[in-house]
């Protein structure tokens, strides 16, 4: 590993500290790594050390490269300065991805408190979006005004293109009300954006990783609050993939339940969506033949087409898996459909 501290703005004291781990050699199939940008909190008035390196360590341990972003704070925090700092940092990482052996499309963010606001902004409105965002006891709704006059209500910017999010907080947080996290969940749910969330029963604001080195043993905090670290790493593996025997594996959790609103078709579009597209029908011809054979309509009067209309909102992949149809070829069909615009 080596550590490289890059100054993004000297006058505003904006820096990116890259912690880059080795690849290849004894790491066998590990020829590049996913990355994570760590965004500490501090009410947009400072960047907390407690939410910087201790957090980086957890993700380095899991095999990620880590990048600590110290962004514009205090009088320099006028929006969209902090978001521009983020965008510049992400652009720089992607530029140097090959040199650093980082997977440019598998870089997440993790932010805390006000840093969670910035991470949430990155997820919803940045030019250079992360692949996933972890938002810890984050300021996400209009409460942001408590620490910045100019920063936006992130929940208002959630849309279909927001990246998958992992949220956590303690319910009794007396600095950032828990409604920030609840409002964000609602916004993500309404836009069918993949998320996971954990609200823990009690504990103070600012517990970082809850390792005792940052949150001393004996503090009044539920012991479950420490779970977010391993849980979020498990979640990132679902969203981004994992180190496998034959290279990095495919994600097992897609950004959306259904791909009906996406730009391209997929096997995870609804039956209605796919059957309404003549080019898709052509691609699926052999599958449909098999479906006609194996799927019995609910009643003798129903035709196959009637049946498909009834099941129209079901994802095609779900139906095929349930009935054991073309299961080994799902990836192949998915690839073919992925070349067709969703119109």
Q: Closer CB to a second copy, residue 74 or residue 286?
A: 74
Binding residue for a second copy, selected from 31, 45, 150, 201, defined by CB under 8 A: 201
Q: Is 53 helix (H, G, I), strand (E, B) or coil?
A: helix
Q: Please, what's the b/e burial string for 178-202 (b: 16 or more CB within 10 A of its CB; e: otherwise)?
A: eebbbbbbebbeebebbbbbbebee
Minimum distance from residue 139 beta carbon to a second copy (Å): 15
Q: Strand pairing of 133-136 and 2-9?
A: unpaired
- Name which of residues 239 to 258 contact a second copy (CB under 8 A): 239, 242-245, 249, 252-253, 257
Q: Which residue has the tokens 């140097």?
A: 96
- What x-and-dash track marks residues 279-318 binding a second copy by CB under 8 A? ----------------------------------------
Structure tokens at 159: 């849309």
216 lines the binding site for a second copy (CB under 8 A): yes
Q: Strand pairing of 33-39 and 14-20?
A: unpaired
Q: Name 286's Cβ contacts closer than 8 Å, sequence gap at least 6.
A: 326
30 lines the binding site for a second copy (CB under 8 A): yes
Binding residue for a second copy, selected from 234, 276, 286, 341, defined by CB under 8 A: 234
Q: Closer CB to a second copy, residue 83 or residue 184?
A: 184
Give the Cα separation of 340 and 337 in Å (integer).
5
- What x-and-dash track marks residues 159-198 binding a second copy by CB under 8 A? ------------xx-x--xxx--xx-xx--xx---xxxxx
136 lines the binding site for a second copy (CB under 8 A): no
Q: Name 23's Cβ contacts closer than 8 Å, sequence gap at least 6.
A: 30, 31, 32, 33, 101
Of 86, 128, 92, 91, whose CA–CA distance to 110 is shortest?
86
219 lines the binding site for a second copy (CB under 8 A): yes
- Name which of residues 63 to 122 contact a second copy (CB under 8 A): 63
Size of the site for a second copy (CB under 8 A): 72
Is there a contact between 97 and 103 (Cβ–Cβ < 8 Å)? yes
Q: Closer CB to a second copy, residue 81 or residue 162?
A: 162
Task: Output phi, psi for 161, to 5 deg.
Answer: -90, 0
Is there a contact between 108 and 133 (Cβ–Cβ < 8 Å)? yes
49 lines the binding site for a second copy (CB under 8 A): yes
Binding residue for a second copy, selected from 11, 26, 99, 285, defined by CB under 8 A: 26
45 lines the binding site for a second copy (CB under 8 A): no
């Amino acid at each position: 590993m080596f550590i490289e501290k890059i100054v993004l703005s000297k006058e505003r004291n904006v820096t990116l500290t890259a912690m880059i781990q080795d690849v290849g050699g004894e790491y066998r199939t590990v020829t590049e790594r996913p990355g994570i940008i760590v965004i500490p909190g501090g009410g947009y008035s400072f960047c907390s050390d407690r939410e910087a390196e201790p957090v980086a360590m957890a993700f380095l341990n899991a095999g990620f490269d880590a990048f600590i972003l110290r962004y514009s704070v205090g009088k320099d925090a006028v929006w969209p300065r902090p978001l521009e700092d983020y965008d510049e940092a992400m652009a720089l990482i992607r530029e140097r991805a090959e040199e650093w052996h980082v997977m440019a499309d598998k870089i997440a963010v993790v932010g805390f408190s006000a840093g969670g606001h910035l991470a949430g902004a990155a997820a919803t409105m940045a030019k250079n979006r992360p692949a996933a965002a972890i938002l810890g006891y984050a300021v996400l709704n209009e409460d942001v005004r408590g620490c910045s006059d100019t920063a936006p209500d992130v929940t208002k910017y959630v849309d279909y293109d927001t990246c998958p999010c992992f949220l956590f907080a303690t319910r009794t947080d007396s600095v950032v009300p828990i409604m920030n996290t609840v409002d964000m969940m609602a916004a993500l749910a309404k836009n069918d954006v993949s998320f996971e969330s954990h609200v823990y029963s009690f504990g103070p604001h600012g517990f970082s990783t809850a390792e005792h080195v940052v949150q001393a043993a004996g503090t009044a905090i539920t012991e479950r609050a420490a779970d977010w670290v391993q849980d979020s790493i498990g979640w990132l593996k679902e969203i981004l993939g994992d180190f496998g025997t034959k290279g990095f594996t495919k994600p097992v959790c897609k950004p959306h339940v259904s791909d009906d609103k996406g730009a391209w078709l997929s096997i995870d579009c609804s039956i209605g969506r796919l059957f309404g597209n003549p080019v898709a029908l052509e691609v699926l011809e052999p599958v449909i033949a098999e479906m006609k054979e194996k799927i019995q309509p609910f009643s003798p009067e129903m035709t196959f087409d009637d049946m498909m209309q009834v099941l129209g909102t079901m994802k095609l992949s779900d139906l095929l898996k349930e009935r054991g149809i073309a299961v080994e070829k799902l990836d192949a069909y998915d690839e073919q459909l992925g070349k067709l615009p969703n119109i």
